[in-house]
Structure 1
Amino acid sequence: MVVGMPNMTISVPDDLYEIMKKHREIKWSEIARRAMWEYAKKLELLDSLLENSELTDEDVSELAKKIKKGIAERHEI
């Protein structure tokens, strides 16, 4: 463990915990850390892409509705 790194407690569903208990050789904290880093990197990328955006929350909501409608129509939902 790296000195000075904050600790975090997470909750997992019982069925996931059972699998994790069977595989104690896995460093689950490292798996979680990597997954969080990947997600954080995606957020940072989105933040940088949207940094100079002039879209309002209302604009984004309208686009989201159109996208969802298009997907629903394509898949006949």
Structure 2
Amino acid sequence: MEKFPEINWSEVARDSIKRKITQLNFLKGFNIDSDITPEDALKLGKEISEHLIKRYKSEQK
């Protein structure tokens, strides 16, 4: 932070906090009507990650 004194770090922090609150509110609302279990969500996330890894590896060849 000391390397960039021209940056208004309070504003950066404030914007970051606002963005995080917006994300959390979205997730809270999204989760209310969801039938998916936390275990299902983790499994789905792993499957998506594996798919993306394969896709990015194939694109790099």
Where does residue 34 of structure 2 map in the other structure?
A: 53
Write out aligned runs for 1:1-77 (5 A). Answer: 17-20=1-4, 22-23=5-6, 26-76=7-57
TM-score (norm 2): 0.77
Q: Select the structure with the greater relative contact order (CA < 8 A; seq sep ≥ 6).
A: 2
TM-score (norm 1): 0.64
Segments of structure 2 that go 5 or more residues without pairing to the other structure are none
Moved over 4 A (4+): none
Secondary structure of 1:18's match? coil
**Higher-helix-fraction structure:** 2
Q: Shift in Å at residue 60 of structure 1?
A: 0.6
Q: Percent identity?
A: 29
**How many pairs does the alignment contain?**
58
Q: CA RMSD in A?
A: 1.7
